[in-house]
Chains A and B, each alone.
Chain A
Amino acid sequence: MTADATTSPHEGAANATLEERDFGFWIYLMSDAIIFALLFATYLTLLRGTDGGPTGHDLFDIDRTFAETMLLLASSVTFGMASVGVAARNKSAVLLWLAITFALGVGFVFLEIGEFSGMIAQGAGPDRSGFLSSFFALVGTHGLHVSGGLVWIAVMAAQISIKGFSAPVVSRMFRLGLFWHFLDIVWIGIFSVVYLPGVM
Chain B
Amino acid sequence: MALEKSPGDLRKSYLTGVILAFILTAIPFAIAAFGLMPRSSALVVIAILAVIQVFVHLYFFLHMDPRTAPKENILALGFAAVLIFIMIGGSLWIMFDLYNRMMI
The interface of chain A, by Cβ under 8 A from chain B, is 1, 22-23, 26-27, 30-31, 33-34, 37-38, 40-42, 44-45, 62, 65-66, 69-70, 73-74, 76-77, 80-81, 83-88, 170, 174, 177-178, 181-182, 184-185, 188-189, 191-193, 195-197, 199-200
**B17-41 vs A, Cβ < 8 Å mask (1 yes, 0 no):** 1100110010011011101000100
* Bound CA span A174–B83, Å: 26
> By the criterion CB–CB under 8 Å, are A62 and B29 in contact?
yes
- Majority SS at the chain B contact face: helix
Residues on A with C-beta less than 8 A from B80 are: 30-31, 33-34
> By the criterion CB–CB under 8 Å, are A26 and B76 in contact?
yes
Q: What is the minimal beta-carbon distance from A197 to any residue of chain B, in angstroms?
A: 6
Residues from 11 to 65 in B contacting A, C-beta threshold 8 Å: 11, 13-15, 17-18, 21-22, 25, 28-29, 31-33, 35, 39, 42-43, 46-47, 49-50, 53-54, 57-58, 61-62
> By the criterion CB–CB under 8 Å, are A196 and B6 in contact?
no
Q: Is B102 an interface position by the 8 A CB rule?
A: no
> By the criterion CB–CB under 8 Å, are B79 and A30 in contact?
yes
Residues from 44 to 103 in B contacting A, C-beta threshold 8 Å: 46-47, 49-50, 53-54, 57-58, 61-62, 70, 72-73, 76-77, 79-80, 83-84, 87-88, 91-92, 95-96
> By the criterion CB–CB under 8 Å, are B76 and A45 in contact?
no
Partner of B1, one of A1, A37, A42, A185: A1
Q: What is the minimal beta-carbon distance from B20 to any residue of chain A, in angstroms?
A: 11
* Bound CA span A79–B33, Å: 29
> By the criterion CB–CB under 8 Å, are A34 and B87 in contact?
yes
> By the criterion CB–CB under 8 Å, are A83 and B2 in contact?
yes
8 A-B pairs with least C-beta separation: A80-B14, A192-B50, A30-B80, A41-B91, A37-B84, A88-B7, A181-B61, A77-B18
Q: What is the minimal beta-carbon distance from B4 to any residue of chain A, in angstroms?
A: 8
Q: What is the minimal beta-carbon distance from A79 to any residue of chain B, in angstroms?
A: 9
> By the criterion CB–CB under 8 Å, are B87 and A87 in contact?
no
User: What are 25 A-B residue pairs whose CB atoms fall within 8 Å in the complex?
Assistant: A1-B1, A23-B70, A38-B88, A41-B91, A41-B92, A45-B95, A62-B33, A76-B61, A80-B13, A80-B17, A81-B14, A83-B2, A83-B10, A87-B3, A87-B6, A87-B10, A174-B1, A174-B2, A181-B62, A184-B57, A192-B47, A193-B50, A195-B32, A196-B31, A197-B32
